[in-house]
Chain A
Amino acid sequence: MKKIVILGATSGIALEVQRLLARRGCELLLVARSAQRLAELQTDLQARGAEQVFTYSADLGAIQQHAAIFEFARRTLPGFDTVLLAYGSMHNQKDSESSVDVLLEELHVNFVSASAILTLFAADLERRRTGCIAAITSVAGDRGRRSNYVYGSAKGALSLFLQGLRSRLHPAGVRVMTIKPGPVRTPMTDHLPNAARFADPEQVAGDIVRALERRSPDVLYTPKVWRYVMSAVGQIPEGIFKRLSF
């Protein structure tokens, strides 16, 4: 793992992952919307020891921009070996219950656009028969909950997409890693109650980088306790689960 493309480089988890990769002397290509924040990140990561930091400013939610992003990656970071998809959006669930526009936007950003861009990168890695695709989904995608099922269904769909992609790319020797964090203290979750008790992004980033280096597991729960929590949650019969308000 030496040349990494990060889609959604200004997300709270990506920020910390990039810092760990910089310390390991990796070459990075950062894709995010804000050109100014990308420039600031570039300086930070270079000072932290990154071999090279390239940036590309684009809206990952806009599928018509994907081809240009992919071309830029192929040109500036030829032979990239890892693609990390780290962007996502979490609206207030109530808004997507009352507005179909918000609902579609949430599904589009978190699932449609994510699967679209991964398809471009997957074809390239499959042809080169090398590398790794890692994408951040969520424990919220493991079961539909009353309070967060729109975000959850988009992330759950992305998890399923990755599962299939993993199987498709396996013969080519390309790894696909599904990263399922529990709630993490990042700008995306600042508006939620109890945000102070969420996991540290540094800790989650440490788990992610370690898993990328070890090339295992296929599905990473982070912090680790969520693997057990979600397997217990998965056992609750639907008849009871539908009455739970969390």
Chain B
Amino acid sequence: MPEILKAAVPGSLLPYGLGRSYGDSCLNGSRELIDCCRLNRILGFDESTGMLRCEGGVSLADIINVFLPRGWFLPVTPGTRFVTVGGAIANDVHGKNHHCAGTFGAHVRQIGLHRSNDGLVLCNSEHNPDMLRATIGGLGLTGVIAWADLQLKRVAGPWMDAELVPFQSLNSFLELSSESNDRFEYTVAWLDCFAGRKLRGIFFRGNHASERGKDFYSERGPKLPFALPAWMLNQYSVKCFNAAYYRIHSAGKGASVVAYDSFFYPLDSIRQWNLLYGRRGFLQYQCVIPETNLAAFEELLDRIAGSGMGSFLGVLKQFGSAPPAGMLSFPRPGLTIALDFAMRGERTLQLMESLDEIVQKSGGALYPAKDARMSPALFEASFPRWRSFVPYIDPKMSSSFWRRVTGVRS
């Protein structure tokens, strides 16, 4: 790695993991990527404390497979386990437990960072603490994460006590969320984004089951073999899907014990699910809007419903108030919503721009890991202190996203 970094031209490189970022934050158009997936060794594990040291290319799936049978789980996990530890740090990812555990970066005790000028740099709360805070959420721009110390958490076994509660308005969502956040480690809601202000959805909440239960291996799911034709996904088929999804889950409301994989990673069970959206693919939109500005949030939902371009899997979550772990961390107090929009060209982009206006006016932010098109102005509004991050960027690193949102050429 030191040789690769030394030999490179300034601004030519970007570390790449499993490529699950939705936009161009993991791309480096017409420049080079460093494939980090084979840097996937476990370097040590302390069975008494749960402290794991592993290389940056180790996937979260790998960690679960190795350590869940021994009673350890990830402190924070995003909605897919097919991401690397390096990527989870670089995007400071969050999960359904943000309200009580904060982001992934909050559980990283220290890292070894390959820098093109200084070699392998140790970053923790004593040595280079600023470099650690820059690298958490730093989009891979501060260097290549060689290894990280990650604090795993004790769990009894692979099972979850889960509960489903249907709701019919934003207020009832907020009530559910605030009454659940003390009692449940994990909370999230699915939203039917065709319903607009009279919204409906399903609130999911859960805790790790206190009994070990039976061990199981999660199987490789079916795989979508090719891109579906674009016409199959239209507002009628998606409306039907959403209505059916709501009915089925409302009927199944109440408490049950479910496997961790279906609780955390429903989409991981269909390999290449992204091909559902056809050859033109889709755009994700994830924003956060301050809770003090619920009117803005309702307006956002109205615009999405009015556009008729909503999709399945609108995901809603109330972030907690934990201080950000990184300089460019996305999560902050407020409501966050994530939506998929099938790419229909100009129409889709225009809808998103009209959503941008609301986000910007409300004092909210967009999530770089899911963005492929936000304007430099919205990036500036989302991360007003990004300039203080710039000195930590490794001179050899750059990304398509970074060049786009900051307007720098190199």
Contacts and interface: CB of A to CB of B under 8 A. Distances in A.
B42 A43 contact: yes
B66 A43 contact: no
A48 interface: yes
A47 B70 contact: no
Contacts of A101: none
B44 interface: yes
A44 B70 contact: no
A23 interface: yes
Contact of B70 (A40, A41, A43, A49): A49
B41 interface: yes
Interface string A173-201: 00000000000000100000000000000
Nearest to B45: A47
B65 A43 contact: no
B66 A23 contact: yes
A31 B401 CA distance: 44
A208 to B, nearest CB: 15
Interface string A43-72: 110011100000000000000000000000
Contacts of A43: 41-44
A28 to B, nearest CB: 15
A49 B66 contact: yes
Nearest to B53: A47
Contacts of B70: 49
Nearest to B42: A47
Nearest to A201: B38
B41 A40 contact: yes
A41 B45 CA distance: 14
Interface in B48-78: 65-66, 69-70
Contacts of B220: 203
Nearest to A203: B220
Looking at A47, A48, A49, which has the most chain B CB atoms within 10 Å of its CB? A47
Interface in A22-47: 23, 40-41, 43-44, 47
Interface in B150-164: none
Nearest to B58: A44
B65 A44 contact: no
A187 B45 CA distance: 27
Contacts of A48: 42, 66
Contacts of B65: 23
Nearest to B59: A202
B387 to A, nearest CB: 37
A203 B219 CA distance: 12
Nearest to A206: B220
Interface in B165-211: none
A203 B42 CA distance: 20
A43 B41 CA distance: 9
A23 B70 CA distance: 10
Nearest to B66: A48
Nearest to A44: B41
A196 to B, nearest CB: 10
Contacts of A23: 65-66, 69
A41 B69 CA distance: 21
Nearest to A22: B66
A115 B38 CA distance: 30
Nearest to A20: B65
A47 B58 CA distance: 13
B216 to A, nearest CB: 14
Nearest to A12: B38
A195 B66 CA distance: 28
Interface of A: 23, 40-41, 43-44, 47-49, 187, 203
23 contacts: A23-B65, A23-B66, A23-B69, A40-B41, A41-B41, A43-B41, A43-B42, A43-B43, A43-B44, A44-B41, A44-B42, A44-B43, A47-B42, A47-B43, A47-B44, A47-B45, A47-B66, A48-B42, A48-B66, A49-B66, A49-B70, A187-B38, A203-B220
Pick the 8 closest A-B CB pairs, nearest first: A47-B42, A44-B41, A47-B45, A44-B42, A48-B66, A40-B41, A48-B42, A43-B43
Interface of B: 38, 41-45, 65-66, 69-70, 220
Given A23-B65, A47-B43, 4 more contacts: A44-B41, A47-B45, A48-B66, A49-B70
